[in-house]
């Protein structure tokens, strides 16, 4: 018997942008309401449906983030070395996320430390637009995102940094002068207005943390590698809650990526306003003015994208996950309170 294998399955999934595309791609609904391949498929090909179909069906507005981290919560050593925190399978996963995005966003720290390419190489797919968040214009012009010409690059800078040189040919400079223009929701809107509605925030810790804390993410992927660094560049850090019952405990799906464990957190459920009083611990910069609970735009909540229609509004979050891997969010007495990295391999 011939089985649908991984590469063909990925090709088919990449063609899915709406429900209407699922049939032609060879997907049908199973008795449980979940999509599956109509033809016999390898376990890996089946897994791709569970993991990526919700993203394919999420619509034109989607903001996700990823971090690969050590067991003790660091995304790089104290010297900034992140080659490699997680393993090859996580790298492939990261490249798949890139392939499903219109834009891949990194903070200035990552552009400086890693000199990433941010292109799709470990799987089939189109390179997203590369976006560098660099309010002070401190990223050197010899970085590959500025020089290799392999994909478009948008260099987002602030009004400060007057000594910033002109961008190289092929790099678009976007200067944001408004005070809150770098707030995550504003950035998402700015990118969407440029046709970049599906966004992957790829790192580093400061950048992803800001998006998490602002409630600007639909989904967060954290891959944990069985390695201890002792100290280093921290992953997620934001103003936390004083008591455990108020901690962010979003629906989560766990799966294995080689020796690593992938945690897929669904942050798309409505949540009360996150506290916006904070100064970022790492930078001391205020952020988040005017932030609002996550804007789903025209997209669909990821939690129900896979099994939508079959389950109705009460459907399980992270539908499509193996049941044993789905851990429902616990709610404290206050009701819903949703608050909650190794770059794949940092072979970027």
Ligand X SMILES: NC(=O)c1ccc[n+]([C@@H]2O[C@H](COP(=O)([O-])OP(=O)(O)OC[C@H]3O[C@@H](n4cnc5c(N)ncnc54)[C@H](OP(=O)(O)O)[C@@H]3O)[C@@H](O)[C@H]2O)c1
Binding site for ligand X (CB under 6 A): 67-68, 75-76, 80, 82, 85, 106-110, 113-114, 133, 135-136, 138, 182, 184, 202-207, 210, 233, 283, 341-343, 346
CB of 6 to ligand X, least distance (A): 23
CA distances from 229 to 85, 90, 207 (A): 10, 18, 21
Q: Name the residue nearer to ligand X (CB basis): 35 or 144.
A: 144
Q: Name the residue nearer to ligand X (CB basis): 22 or 223.
A: 223
- By 3-state DSSP, what share of the chain in percent is helix, strand and coil, each rounded to 5? 20, 20, 55
- In this structure, is the dihedral angle defined by the CA atoms of residues 99, 193, 298 and 250, taken in order, positive or negative? positive
- The answer to whether 155 touches 167, Cβ cutoff 8 Å, is yes
CB of 208 to ligand X, least distance (A): 7
Q: Name the residue nearer to ligand X (CB basis): 109 or 251.
A: 109
Q: Name the residue nearer to ligand X (CB basis): 13 or 111.
A: 111
CB of 41 to ligand X, least distance (A): 30
Rounded distance between C-alpha atoms, residue 51 and residue 320, angstroms: 8
Q: Which of 102, 6, 115, 10 is nearest to 53 (CA)?
A: 10
The number of helix segments (H) and strand segments (E) in the chain equals 7, 14
Q: Name the residue nearer to ligand X (CB basis): 95 or 346.
A: 346
Q: Name the residue nearer to ligand X (CB basis): 136 or 328.
A: 136
Q: Which of 137, 129, 139 is nearest to 157 (CA)?
A: 137
CB of 114 to ligand X, least distance (A): 4
CB of 78 to ligand X, least distance (A): 9
Q: Name the residue nearer to ligand X (CB basis): 52 or 84.
A: 84
DSSP string, 251-305: -EEEEEETTEEEEEEE--S--PPPP--PBPTTT--B--TT--S---TTS--GGGT
- The answer to whether 89 touches 255, Cβ cutoff 8 Å, is no
CB of 161 to ligand X, least distance (A): 9
CB of 294 to ligand X, least distance (A): 16
């Amino acid at each position: 018997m011939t089985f649908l294998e991984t590469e063909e399955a990925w090709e088919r999934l990449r063609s899915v942008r709406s429900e209407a595309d699922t049939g032609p791609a060879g997907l049908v609904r199973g008795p449980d309401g979940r999509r599956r391949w109509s033809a016999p498929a390898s376990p890996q090909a089946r897994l791709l449906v569970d993991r990526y179909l919700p993203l394919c069906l999420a619509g034109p507005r989607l903001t996700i983030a990823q971090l690969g981290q050590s067991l003790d919560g660091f995304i790089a050593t104290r010297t900034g070395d992140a080659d490699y925190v997680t393993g090859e399978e996580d790298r492939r996963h990261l490249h798949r996320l890139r392939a499903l995005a219109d834009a891949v966003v990194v903070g200035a720290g990552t552009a400086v430390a890693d000199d990433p390419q941010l292109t799709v190489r470990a799987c089939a797919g189109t390179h997203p637009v590369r976006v560098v968040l660099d309010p002070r214009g401190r990223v050197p012009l010899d970085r590959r995102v500025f020089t290799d010409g392999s994909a478009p690059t948008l260099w987002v800078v602030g009004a400060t940094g007057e000594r910033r040189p002109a961008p190289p040919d092929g790099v678009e400079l976007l200067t944001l002068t408004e005070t809150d223009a770098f707030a995550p929701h504003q950035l998402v809107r700015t990118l969407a207005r440029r046709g970049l509605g599906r966004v992957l925030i790829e790192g580093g810790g400061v950048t992803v943390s800001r998006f998490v804390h602002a409630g600007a993410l639909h989904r967060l992927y954290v891959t944990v590698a069985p390695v201890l660094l002792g100290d280093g560049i921290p992953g997620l850090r934001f103003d936390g809650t004083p008591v455990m019952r108020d901690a962010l405990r979003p629906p989560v799906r766990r799966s294995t990526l080689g020796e690593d464990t992938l945690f897929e957190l669904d942050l798309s459920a409505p949540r009360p306003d996150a506290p916006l009083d904070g100064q970022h611990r790492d930078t001391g910069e205020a952020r988040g003015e005017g932030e609002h609970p996550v804007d789903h735009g025209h997209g669909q909540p990821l939690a129900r994208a896979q099994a939508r229609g079959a389950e109705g509004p009460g459907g399980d979050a992270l539908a499509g996950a193996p049941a044993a891997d789905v851990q429902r969010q616990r709610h404290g007495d206050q009701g819903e309170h949703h608050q909650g990295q190794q770059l794949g391999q940092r072979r970027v």
